[in-house]
Amino acid sequence: MNLANLSPLAVLLPILGAALAFLLIRHHTAQRVVSIGILSATLLLECLLLISVWDGGTTSVTLGGWLPPWGVVLVVDQFSSLMLVVSTVVSLAVLIYATGQGMADGDQEAPVSIFHPTYLILVAGVSNAFLTGDLFNLYVGFEILLTASYVLMTLGGTGPRIRAGVTYVVVSVVSSVLFLIAIAMIYGATGTITMADLAIKLAELDQGTQNLLHVMLLVAFGIKAAVFPLSFWLPDSYPTAPAPVTAVFAGLLTKVGVYAMVRTETLLFPGDTLNVPLMVVALLTMIVGILGALAQSDIKRLLSFTLVSHIGYMVFGLAMSSVAGLGAAVFYVAHHITVQTSLFLVTGLIERRGGSSSIDRLGGLAKLSPLLALLFFIPAMNLAGIPPFSGFLGKLGLLQAGVELGTPLAIVLVVGGVVTSLLTLLAIARVWNRAFWRKPEDAEYPDPVLKTPGNVGVLPRTMVGSTAGLVVFGVALTVFAGPLFKVADGSAGIMLDRSAYIHSVLGDSVVVPPLAQPDETQNDQTPTDDARDG
Amino acid sequence: MSINLTLLIVMGVLYACGIYLILERSLTRVLLGLMLLANATNILILSTGGYAGLAPLFSKETNPETYNDPLPQALILTSIVISFAVTAFMLGIIYRTWVLARQDEIQDDLEDVRVAKTPSFDAEDDAIVPLETSEFAVTPAGPANPEKQDATETPNTATTQEGGSA
């Protein structure tokens, strides 16, 4: 039996779980058991999927009885299944954390019991976006996860959350409309929305039309991924949400945008037509994002800015369109999902322990709660890219690929990447020095909580445990970086080659290389033409 | 592919009005703008389906050429449902804003305002470092002038630090 036939369950299980959790809205314990159980089952299934494609290979499942060029297909390859596993590990950890928080705070009020069903729907949307091989289905996946995220963002309906939620909803809806316009245009131009079919048919269009469709898709995904000129909504809206919600948003939602950008760049519009603008955008994202982080005094906002900044690394890897660059970008996405989420979870713990997430009010946490300090220190150093950790390995891979490419712009980006890494260290060190190392009395407005010793009752074991689990998972990415990099590079090779993807969806009889190969050589031979057109 | 000019003009007008409205500060107008944008996009999808034809109900006698393309209509249905859900949610949020703040305008972010107001002078980095960095109080003995300077400088930095962050 082909394991990939089970892949629809990665979407269906969370949706069914959401329905069940919604029915159990009055039974909090049963609701918790159901949602954690369902998510664990989904994770197990996705691990099986990852193992089945571990050594390469792409499989697709046709849904609804319509054959591929017309019907919806789900495609399982190394990249999509790797993203699935990492995202579900992270969402499971956050769910356990949120459950612990709910149990500690006594979530008896009605609004909070909506959390579990909505959260599962969010996971279903993310899985759908990762798995789908159909452009409109990708739009539906985005809408599922966005609609769930609107609800999670405004959970409880307090003033600041509603204010932030409005910005978030309006920006997301505008980006979805742009995406839908792009889909309509693509359908009008080619008569298909199956991605594998598009990969063949888009290449037949003239260059101007291709560029228009390409840019429209990238702008729509760029808003979701928070790439520089389109990133201003993110630090404004994420920090006000509840800690677990911010954590899962920071980890997953922008990466779904990055994932869609990767598929656009590799499958739909291969070649290097837009590589130069993408590299410029990547550089600006890194630098502007991290400079924003340095100005912040609230840890959540600071982390949101580092999130924007580090999206730049992934776009950089993507823009190189080489196996080394793309592989490093894939690795970096996996690393960044884990690290960014664990940092936001730790910030939630800091807020509970210290009474605030502002570094003007915190102090002396290293002495008060050494465990918390350790939990913060490891992912923080990982984010900044200090040698033993996966952040360092990912950045090293990107920088090596950049040096290998050797164009002046790539070298500028390599320098920019190093500077961003150092500035991240500076931003993180600022948090460390103020919140953890200085005496509580030195804080500008110390919270009285900082005077009481011990963590008893303040930090529930489930919350600390799930955070620690995620931190350990992040360290495991370092320990198993070798095999992980192998899979990442393998997936990059498959994605750049495209033929495995297209064959698995449309059957082996479809002729891919004559369409893909001349396209690449054409671009290689006539860079001057492209420059003149641009 | 024949083009329906009326549809295109309607679509253009809807896009123009929608974009104008989402640039407003009032939330209700933003919502109306989003609805117009969604509907304009639906018309765009409809027009990609090509010429108007028969409803795609299969019968053996009909020439396949005379059918309308059913796929854009399926896409429109999906997008109508999605925009319906988003509109309902936005209405909920707008009502909540009204309940909380008695206005339906987008508010400024407090933290953004704080960062914008922060002077380029940073108390921690830019303040004049006191000459005497030890934690012990400066002894009042010594010549009159340096003592005065010391005594005014140490409390000064403390106040600027507080003032800068407040």
Q: How far is B63 from chain A (nearest CA, A)?
A: 20
Q: How far is B41 from chain A (nearest CA, A)?
A: 6
Q: What is the pLDDT of residue A62?
A: 85
Residue B4 has pLDDT above 60, yes or no: yes
- CATH architecture for residues B8-52+68-117: Orthogonal Bundle (1.10)
User: Rounded distance, CA A312 to CA A283, Å?
Assistant: 6
Its pTM stands at 0.85
Q: Which of A95-104, A463-472, B15-24, B81-90 has the lowest mean pLDDT?
A: A95-104
pLDDT digits (tens, 9 = 90+) for A127-185: 999 999 899 999 999 999 999 999 988 887 788 888 888 889 999 999 999 999 999 99
Identify the H or E element spanning A110. Answer: helix A110-113
pLDDT digits (tens, 9 = 90+) for A63-83: 877 887 788 888 888 899 999
- What is the token pair recorded at A424? 């991240």
Q: Hey, are the CB atoms on B45 and A298 less than 8 Å from each other?
A: no
Helices then strands, counting H and E runs in chain A, come out as 24, 2
Give B-chain residues touching A444 at CB under 8 angstroms: 161-162, 165-166
Q: Hey, are the CB atoms on B48 and A185 less than 8 Å from each other?
A: yes
Number of Cβ within a 10 Å radius of residue A191: 17
Half-sphere exposure of A406 (CA within 13 A, CB side): 1
Percent of chain B with pLDDT over 70: 68
Q: Hey, are the CB atoms on A184 and B44 less than 8 Å from each other?
A: yes
Give B-chain residues touching A184 at CB under 8 angstroms: 41, 44-45, 48, 72, 75
- Domain segments of chain B: what residues? 8-52+68-117
pLDDT digits (tens, 9 = 90+) for A458-490: 778 888 889 999 999 989 988 888 888 888 888
DSSP state of A298: B
CA of A169: which chain B residue's CA is closest? B90
Residue A519 has pLDDT above 50, yes or no: no
Q: What is the pLDDT of residue B2?
A: 64
Q: Which residues have CB under 8 Å from B73's CB, separation 6+?
A: B46, B49
Q: Hey, are the CB atoms on A170 and B89 less than 8 Å from each other?
A: no
- What is the token pair recorded at A229? 């000129």
Question: What distance, in Å, lies between the first and last C-alpha atoms of chain B?
Answer: 66
Which B residues 96-135 touch A at CB under 8 Å?
Answer: 96-97, 100-101, 106-107, 109-112, 115, 118
Half-sphere exposure of A148 (CA within 13 A, CB side): 26
User: Rounded distance, CA B127 to CA A513, Å?
Assistant: 65
User: Rounded distance, CA A500 to CA A518, Å?
Assistant: 18
Q: What is the pLDDT of residue A174?
A: 92
Cα B27 to Cα A360, A426, B111: the distances in Å are 34, 39, 21
CA of A173: which chain B residue's CA is closest? B34
- What is the token pair recorded at A377? 């220190």
Confidence of residue B136 (pLDDT cuts 50, 70, 90): low
CA A449 vs. chain centroid, Å, equals: 34
User: Rounded distance, CA A285 to CA A417, Å?
Assistant: 11
Q: What is the pLDDT of residue B125?
A: 64
Buried b (16+ CB within 10 A) or exposed e, A286-297: bbbbbebbeebb
Q: How far is A143 from chain B (nearest CA, A)?
A: 7
Q: Hey, are the CB atoms on A181 and B44 less than 8 Å from each other?
A: yes
Which B residues 34-93 touch A at CB under 8 Å?
Answer: 34, 37-38, 41, 44-45, 47-48, 71-72, 75, 78-79, 82, 85-86, 89-90, 93
- What is the token pair recorded at A88? 């579900």
Query: Of A32, A28, A50, A29, whose CA–CA distance to A40 is shortest?
Result: A32
Q: Is A444 strand, coil or helix?
A: coil
CA of B36: which chain A residue's CA is closest? A177
Sign of CA pseudo-dihedral A347, A351, A352, A354: positive
CA of B29: which chain A residue's CA is closest? A170
CA of B120: which chain A residue's CA is closest? A295
Strand-pairing partners, residue A194, are A134
Chain A interface includes B159 (CB < 8 A):
no
Unique residue bearing structure tokens 């490891």 = A378
CA of A151: which chain B residue's CA is closest? B89
8 A C-beta contact, residue A297 and residue A360: yes
Q: Hey, are the CB atoms on A163 and B89 less than 8 Å from each other?
A: no
The two beta strands, A73-76 and A59-62, are antiparallel
8 A C-beta contact, residue A134 and residue A195: yes
Query: What's the ipTM?
Result: 0.83
Q: Which residues have CB under 8 Å from B120's CB, separation 6+?
A: none
Q: Which of A377-391, B79-93, B106-120 has the lowest mean pLDDT?
A: B106-120
Cα A472 to Cα A59, A70, A225, A389, A394: the distances in Å are 31, 44, 26, 12, 17
pLDDT digits (tens, 9 = 90+) for A317-337: 998 888 888 999 999 999 999
- Nearest neighbour of B107 by CB, restricted to A154, A163, A298: A163
Of B105 and A125, the one with more pLDDT: A125
